[in-house]
């Protein structure tokens, strides 16, 4: 099934939104195709990303884009917990 170009564009935009939220949550620089280098993210941005990823809006938008929100949340928050552990070990 071929997507209408407008639908495909909307799906790509939503995917970019989720990539940005996950990268902000994990403290990574956001790149077009994949995360780039590590960066410092203000706690506010990380908290906003976490709030968004847990929100009903995230569920609705993921559903529209065909993204598995449960798996996305699980991977994002598991990776964030691992990254926080690594930051504490480094200190």
pLDDT (tens digit per residue) in 21-62: 988 888 777 766 665 666 666 777 888 999 999 999 999 999
Question: Look-up: residue for tokens 């195709």?
Answer: 33
Nearest to 87 by CA among 38, 21, 29, 35: 38
The closest alpha carbon to 49, from 18, 30, 25, 72, belongs to 25
Q: Is the pLDDT of residue 7 over 90?
A: no
Average pLDDT over residues 8-32: 84
pLDDT of res. 26: 82
Look-up: residue for tokens 């994002």? 76
pTM, two decimal places: 0.75
pLDDT of residue 24: 84
Higher pLDDT, 7 or 41: 7
Rounded to the nearest integer, the mean pLDDT of the chain is 81
């Amino acid at each position: 099934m071929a997507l209408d170009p407008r639908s495909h564009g909307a799906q790509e935009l939503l995917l970019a939104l989720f990539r940005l939220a996950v990268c902000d949550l994990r403290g990574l620089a956001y790149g077009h195709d994949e995360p780039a280098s590590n960066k410092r993210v203000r706690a506010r941005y990380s908290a906003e990303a976490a709030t968004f990823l847990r929100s009903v809006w995230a569920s609705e938008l993921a559903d529209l884009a065909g993204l598995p929100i449960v798996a996305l949340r699980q991977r994002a928050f598991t990776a964030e917990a691992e990254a926080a552990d690594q930051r504490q070990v480094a200190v």
